[in-house]
A and B are shown apart, each in its own frame.
Chain A
Amino acid sequence: ETGVTQTPRHLVMGMTNKKSLKCEQHLGHNAMYWYKQSAKKPLELMFVYNFKEQTENNSVPSRFSPECPNSSHLFLHLHTLQPEDSALYLCASSRDRGQETQYFGPGTRLLVL
């Protein structure tokens, strides 16, 4: 499989559930990103990892917890989410943090009830 893949593609969860989003890149990149996309708003950068190390956390609530076990895989662990967290969550990768042509996955559409 090529490019950036994300699973699941759709997720419905209650506010008390715990779930995880998975991202995998097959591009040999060293930087990976999580974004949140809500209607009528610009993409919001959530987390950045470069060579498996977290380099940015843009004031994201602690109910979102990222994990990057290696340069190819990125997870976003979710717990006690709120309805306003419903959005499209996008994963992206780039060659490194300074080389910023980012390639995106298809996203996970999350609905919090």
Chain B
Amino acid sequence: EDQVTQSPEALRLQEGESSSLNCSYTVSGLRGLFWYRQDPGKGPEFLFTLYSAGEEKEKERLKATLTKKESFLHITAPKPEDSATYLCAVQAIAGNQFYFGTGTSLTVIP
């Protein structure tokens, strides 16, 4: 069964304390893996798309990596404004089906 699992469910970091969020997936064939950021009461904001194992993308303090079974979102020296829920989604080749995880709620404490 195709699915996406994100961990941890919630993460509290001190400002400047680097960490990683995990997105594990099982899909028969991966077309793409997507990371989004969602602030409370708002829609998800697109961050990255990864297509193949070994691919990496960076944006400011965020870096996303991809293997054949999981993706990591690395946050380097986070700031309070990085506090949000980070969503992972995968698109399967079969039927172009799209699966979302439940997200990781990140809180960065000043």
Contacts and interface: CB of A to CB of B under 8 A. Distances in A.
Interface in B17-40: 31-32, 34, 36
Interface of A: 4, 6, 40-43, 45, 88, 90, 92, 97-98, 100-107, 109
Contacts of B100: 42-43
A40 B43 CA distance: 15
Contact of A100 (B87, B91, B101): B91
B96 A98 contact: yes
Contacts of B101: 42
B42 A106 contact: yes
Contacts of A6: 43
A101 B42 contact: no
A109 B31 CA distance: 31
Nearest to B4: A42
A103 B100 CA distance: 14
Interface string B85-104: 00101010000101111100
A101 B49 contact: yes
Contacts of A106: 42-43
Contacts of B54: none
22 contacts: A4-B43, A6-B43, A40-B102, A42-B4, A42-B99, A42-B100, A42-B101, A42-B102, A88-B41, A90-B44, A97-B96, A100-B31, A100-B32, A100-B34, A100-B98, A101-B34, A101-B46, A102-B34, A104-B36, A107-B41, A107-B43, A109-B41
